[in-house]
């Protein structure tokens, strides 16, 4: 009886094992077809990605001959006993070697390892979804085997042929006809692409450190003009932030006036300047109403707390504008209660250490078991967190006995204590801008702060948000960047009309519907910096069906060290932004506005471009002309009150190289025009031009008389004026270069 039972068990084991193996290898000769109304994907029975056809055009989307497998498993070292004897302790990738379809599931086997993955399929007209549902560990009937880990599993990877555009952020290859997009269906799926000869290997991956089972991706193959519709359906079906919906809102195109100091006393002044510049939105930085980030306590200027902030937002809305908030959200200031006087246990530690000997309250040397080499030596960042005490060190040794030296105990108002040998502690993750300390994203602290930010946002009535300091998170960056943003985003009700941020990961595409703004550039370099940064970036990010912010523009007044912001600088930045359908942002500083003699002209330039851009004045041809760095353009209001775009050129060395005069020449209506002004004051300008050939305007169509002088004319020099001159271009330029300022 016992022999019969053993025989039956052995027979059952052999039968099921052979049946499973036969099912893995038995395939249709053409492979596995997965299709919807827009695409046909063919995967070979050996796991290779063979074909991906866009049905409407019949175009093959995969690069042939790559031998790329659609699925693989990576172990950070071989874990199987026999494999770890054969291969070195390096990451090892095991490609799929067998695939079969079982209803709405793919069952995938892998070379060399005894692991089978079950990937669920969700086939819709808009996309095909792939979800890792199960991992089976097939333990052979011989040897001493244990289950081995799966560090990364590729849910789907495809060698997609290059087309005119590649959006790295969205992970999409596209041209005017076809778009191929491999998109994460949740924040836990890692998305990337590897550039190769003639193609990009688009990849979606489950990473066990973050999440394994349940992670998913969506494959979209469609007409370029239908791509966002398909992504929108993915966002709806998987309950993702509505990135497509945001990009289609009218508010998405709004430039904003940013203020760091608005309060109940100056709100009306800020609103007046914002309206003068044609802004439809005002963004309020947290510094205006809170004295620190983390707990966000109210500033003294807000004696009524949230009621004062609500009043400010209400006034902005009543003025016909929307209000947005600008937060740092993933860290706390050193003076915040999260750090001082009792540091929170959820602050991030970038290194871990163990006390090698007891530490008393007065000791200025900390002996540790681990080598501290690599710990920061930056001022204000050299801080250890041990229990609820913070210790600042001066240096450390990199040979045993390892020690932190020159220590100051109980910094940032913490209390010095005693600690026993073996006590575990760490290097506090102080920001590179060392007034902040970063959060441990594995803990609940980000959820707690997100709830606090959401309460401020919701109760105040904000309508959009800027996620600043987004780079201040620990690894893995691809995950922590967007998960921290998502926690804050989900706390905001209703969802922001649009969002911007300082760093993005793939999943952030759904959250940060507009690209980042840049930190400010000096007036003397703002045109060059615009060419090298925003203008260069938008050529990259436009491939992700996303705009960027061509700000922030700092409002600088003329002085001994700078000419200050001038009208031509605003013309330049706004024109390049308009070319790419992008907004601009300006830092609103009433004191600077009042001190700058050219504020009226500067804000008028901004207003014109904002009004014209939002009214869809510009043709596609005009936008194309402005997409590169040169020539520069000016937006006029003509004699009939209509917008008019003209290329123009600076007259260098005007008034014998006197920097207070800025002059630009252009042609219109068969005449030569010069727009000119004084950068910081008032005066007169003498030009050797025939007075009968000259007309002066401050507003085109409304002549101003000119004064005649010996062999020339004298015109006012202050605000922007226009000269219409019935002479050749070279004569006009020469006259301005030899002009005399009176």
Q: Are 508 and 482 in contact (CB under 8 A)?
A: yes
pLDDT digits (tens, 9 = 90+) for 172-218: 999 999 999 999 999 999 999 999 999 999 999 999 999 999 999 99
pLDDT digits (tens, 9 = 90+) for 414-465: 999 999 999 999 999 999 999 999 999 999 999 999 999 999 999 999 999 9
Question: Residue 147: its pLDDT value, please?
Answer: 87
The two three-digit tokens of residue 702, written as one number: 């409304």
**CA distance linking residue 17 with residue 13, whole number of Å:** 6
Q: How confident is the model at residue 144 (pLDDT cuts 50, 70, 90)?
A: low
Q: What are phi and psi of 31, to 5 degrees?
A: 95, -160
- What is the residue whose two structure tokens read 């270069």? 737
Q: Are 329 and 431 in contact (CB under 8 A)?
A: no
3-state secondary structure 275-299: HHCCCCEEEEEHHHCECCCCCCCEC
Instruction: Give the residue with greater pLDDT, 147 vs 562.
Output: 562
Cis peptide leading into 605, omega within 30 of 0? no
Question: Residue 140: its pLDDT value, please?
Answer: 74
Sequence-distant (6+) residues with CB within 8 A of 522 are 556, 562
Q: Are 646 and 636 in contact (CB under 8 A)?
A: yes
Q: Are 68 and 49 in contact (CB under 8 A)?
A: yes
Question: Residue 594: its pLDDT value, please?
Answer: 98
Q: For residue 24, is pLDDT > 90?
A: no
pLDDT digits (tens, 9 = 90+) for 473-515: 999 999 999 999 999 999 999 999 999 999 999 999 999 999 8
How large a percentage of the chain has pLDDT more than 90? Answer: 93
Q: How confident is the model at residue 709 (pLDDT cuts 50, 70, 90)?
A: confident
- Of 524, 525, 581, 507, the C-alpha closest to 550 is 581
Question: Residue 138: its pLDDT value, please?
Answer: 85
The two three-digit tokens of residue 169, written as one number: 């952020």
Report helix, strand or coil for 521: coil
Mean pLDDT, all residues of the chain = 95
Instruction: Give the residue with greater pLDDT, 145 vs 574.
Output: 574
pLDDT digits (tens, 9 = 90+) for 264-310: 999 999 999 999 999 999 999 999 999 999 999 999 999 999 999 99
Q: How far is CA 721 from the centre of its chain?
A: 40
Q: How confident is the model at residue 143 (pLDDT cuts 50, 70, 90)?
A: low
**CA distance linking residue 313 with residue 318, whole number of Å:** 9
Q: Are 523 and 564 in contact (CB under 8 A)?
A: yes
The C-alpha torsion from 279 through 284 and 289 to 291, rounded to 10°, is: -140
Q: Are 177 and 57 in contact (CB under 8 A)?
A: yes
pLDDT digits (tens, 9 = 90+) for 103-136: 999 999 999 999 999 999 999 999 999 999 999 9
Q: Are 374 and 382 in contact (CB under 8 A)?
A: no
Q: DSSP states of 457-490 as a string? A: HHHHT--EEEEETTT--PSPHHHHHHHHHHHHHH
Cis peptide leading into 552, omega within 30 of 0? yes
From residue 5, give the alpha-carbon distance in Å to each of 1, 2, 9, 10, 560: 6, 5, 6, 9, 98
Q: For residue 19, is pLDDT > 60?
A: no
Report helix, strand or coil for 312: helix
* C-alpha count within 13 angstroms, C-beta hemisphere, residue 473: 28
Q: Are 171 and 192 in contact (CB under 8 A)?
A: yes
Q: For residue 30, is pLDDT > 60?
A: yes
> Picking from 19-33, 37-51, 614-628, 661-675, which range would have the lowest pLDDT averaged per residue?
19-33
Residue 650 bridge partners (DSSP): 664
Q: For residue 665, is pLDDT > 50?
A: yes
**CA distance linking residue 607 with residue 498, whole number of Å:** 21
Q: How confident is the model at residue 9 (pLDDT cuts 50, 70, 90)?
A: very low
The two three-digit tokens of residue 734, written as one number: 């020469």
**CA distance linking residue 662 with residue 601, whole number of Å:** 13
Q: For residue 328, is pLDDT > 50?
A: yes
**CA distance linking residue 54 with residue 40, whole number of Å:** 7
Phi-psi region for residue 625, left (φ > 0), alpha (ψ -120 to 50) or beta?
Answer: alpha
Q: For residue 711, is pLDDT > 90?
A: no
Question: Residue 519: its pLDDT value, please?
Answer: 87
**CA distance linking residue 635 with residue 575, whole number of Å:** 8
Q: What is the mean pLDDT of residues 606-621?
A: 99
**CA distance linking residue 323 with residue 283, whole number of Å:** 6
DSSP run (H or E) holding 149: none
Q: What is the DSSP letter of 548?
A: -
The two three-digit tokens of residue 232, written as one number: 């929108």
**CA distance linking residue 300 with residue 552, whole number of Å:** 27
Q: What is the mean pLDDT of residues 541-569?
A: 97
**CA distance linking residue 290 with residue 310, whole number of Å:** 14
- Of 77, 74, 81, 136, the C-alpha closest to 105 is 136
Sequence-distant (6+) residues with CB within 8 A of 398 are 371, 372, 373
The two three-digit tokens of residue 559, written as one number: 């002085």
The two three-digit tokens of residue 523, written as one number: 């007036």
Q: How far is CA 334 from the centre of its chain?
A: 26
Q: Are 680 and 558 in contact (CB under 8 A)?
A: yes
How large a percentage of the chain has pLDDT more than 70? Answer: 96
> Picking from 12-16, 79-83, 117-121, 639-643, which range would have the lowest pLDDT averaged per residue?
12-16
Question: Residue 110: its pLDDT value, please?
Answer: 98
Q: DSSP states of 631-691 as a string? A: SEEEEEE-TTS-EEEEEEEE-TTHHHH-TTEEEEEEEETTEEEEEEEESSS-EEEEE-S-G
Q: Are 326 and 428 in contact (CB under 8 A)?
A: no
Q: What is the mean pLDDT of residues 210-239?
A: 99
Question: Residue 29: its pLDDT value, please?
Answer: 56
- Of 571, 566, 589, the C-alpha closest to 678 is 566
Report helix, strand or coil for 702: strand
**CA distance linking residue 106 with residue 155, whole number of Å:** 10
Q: Are strands 92-101 and 72-75 parallel, antiparallel or unpaired?
A: antiparallel
Q: How far is CA 339 from the centre of its chain?
A: 28
Q: Are 411 and 448 in contact (CB under 8 A)?
A: no
Question: Residue 11: its pLDDT value, please?
Answer: 42
Question: Residue 141: its pLDDT value, please?
Answer: 66
Q: What is the mean pLDDT of residues 520-532?
A: 97
């Amino acid at each position: 009886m016992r022999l019969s039972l053993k025989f039956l068990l052995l027979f059952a084991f052999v039968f099921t094992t052979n049946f499973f193996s036969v099912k893995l290898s038995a395939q249709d000769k053409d492979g596995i077809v997965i299709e919807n109304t827009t695409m046909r994907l063919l995967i070979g029975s050996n796991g290779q990605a063979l074909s991906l056809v866009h049905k409407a055009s019949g175009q093959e989307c995969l690069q042939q001959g790559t031998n790329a497998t659609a699925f693989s498993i990576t172990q950070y070292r071989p874990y199987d006993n026999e494999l770890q004897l054969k291969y070195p302790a390096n990451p090892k990738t095991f490609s799929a070697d067998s695939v079969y379809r079982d209803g709405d599931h793919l069952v995938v086997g892998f070379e060399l390892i005894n692991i089978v993955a079950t990937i669920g399929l969700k086939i819709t007209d808009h996309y095909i979804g792939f979800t890792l549902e199960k991992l089976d560990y097939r333990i052979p009937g011989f040897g001493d085997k244990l289950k081995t880990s799966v560090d990364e599993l590729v849910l789907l990877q495809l060698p997609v042929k290059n087309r005119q555009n590649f959006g790295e952020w969205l992970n999409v290859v596209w041209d005017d006809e076809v778009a191929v997009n491999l998109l994460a269906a949740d924040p836990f799926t890692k998305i990337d692409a590897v550039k190769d000869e003639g193609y990009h290997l688009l990849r979606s991956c489950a990473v066990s450190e973050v999440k394994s089972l349940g992670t998913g991706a969506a494959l979209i193959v469609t007409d370029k003009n239908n791509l966002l519709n398909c992504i929108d359906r993915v966002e709806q079906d998987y309950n993702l932030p509505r990135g497509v919906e945001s990009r289609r809102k009218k508010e998405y195109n709004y430039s904003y006036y940013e203020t760091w100091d608005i309060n109940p006393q100056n709100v009306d002044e800020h609103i007046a300047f914002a309206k003068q510049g044609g802004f439809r939105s005002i963004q309020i930085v947290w510094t205006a109403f809170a004295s620190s980030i983390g707990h966000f306590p109210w500033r003294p200027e807000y004696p009524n707390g949230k009621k004062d902030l609500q009043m400010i937002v209400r006034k902005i809305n009543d003025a016909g504008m929307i209000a947005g908030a600008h937060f740092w959200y993933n860290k706390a200031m050193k003076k915040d209660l999260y750090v001082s006087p009792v540091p929170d246990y959820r602050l991030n530690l970038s290194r871990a250490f163990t006390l090698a000997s007891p530490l008393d309250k007065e000791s200025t040397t900390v002996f540790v078991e681990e080598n501290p080499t690599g710990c920061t030596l930056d001022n204000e960042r050299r801080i250890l967190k041990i229990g609820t005490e913070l210790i600042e060190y001066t240096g450390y040794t990199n040979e045993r006995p390892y020690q932190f030296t020159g220590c100051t105990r109980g910094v940032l108002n913490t209390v010095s204590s005693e600690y026993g040998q073996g006590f575990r502690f760490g290097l506090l993750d102080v920001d590179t801008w060392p007034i902040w300390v970063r959060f441990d994203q594995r803990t609940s602290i980000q959820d707690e702060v997100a709830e606090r930010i959401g309460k401020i946002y919701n109760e105040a009535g904000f309508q959009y948000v800027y996620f600043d300091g987004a780079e201040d998170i620990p690894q893995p960056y691809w995950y922590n960047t967007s998960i921290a943003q998502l926690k804050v985003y989900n706390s905001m009700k209703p969802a922001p009309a649009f969002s911007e941020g300082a760093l993005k990961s793939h999943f952030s595409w759904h959250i940060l519907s507009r690209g980042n703004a840049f930190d400010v550039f000096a007036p003397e370099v703002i045109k060059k910096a615009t060419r090298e940064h925003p203008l260069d970036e938008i050529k990259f990010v436009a491939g992700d069906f996303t705009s960027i912010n061509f700000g922030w523009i700092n409002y600088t007044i003329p002085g001994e060290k700078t000419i200050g912001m001038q009208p031509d600088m605003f013309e330049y930045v706004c024109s390049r932004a308009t070319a790419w359908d992008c907004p601009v942002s300006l830092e609103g500083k009433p004191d600077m506005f009042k001190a700058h003699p050219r504020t009226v002209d500067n804000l008028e330039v901004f207003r014109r471009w904002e009004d014209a851009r939002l009214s869809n004045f510009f043709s596609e041809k005009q936008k194309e002309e402005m997409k590169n760095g040169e020539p520069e353009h000016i937006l006029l209001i003509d004699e009939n009150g209509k917008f008019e775009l003209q290329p123009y050129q600076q007259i260098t060395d005007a008034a014998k190289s006197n920097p207070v005069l800025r002059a630009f020449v252009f042609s219109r209506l068969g005449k030569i025009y010069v727009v000119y002004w004084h950068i910081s004051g008032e005066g007169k300008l003498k030009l050797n031009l025939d007075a009968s050939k000259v007309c002066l305007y401050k507003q085109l169509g409304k002549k101003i008389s000119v004064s005649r002088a010996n062999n020339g004319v004298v015109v006012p020099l202050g605000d922007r004026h226009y000269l219409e001159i019935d002479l050749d271009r070279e004569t006009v330029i020469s006259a301005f270069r030899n002009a005399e300022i009176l």
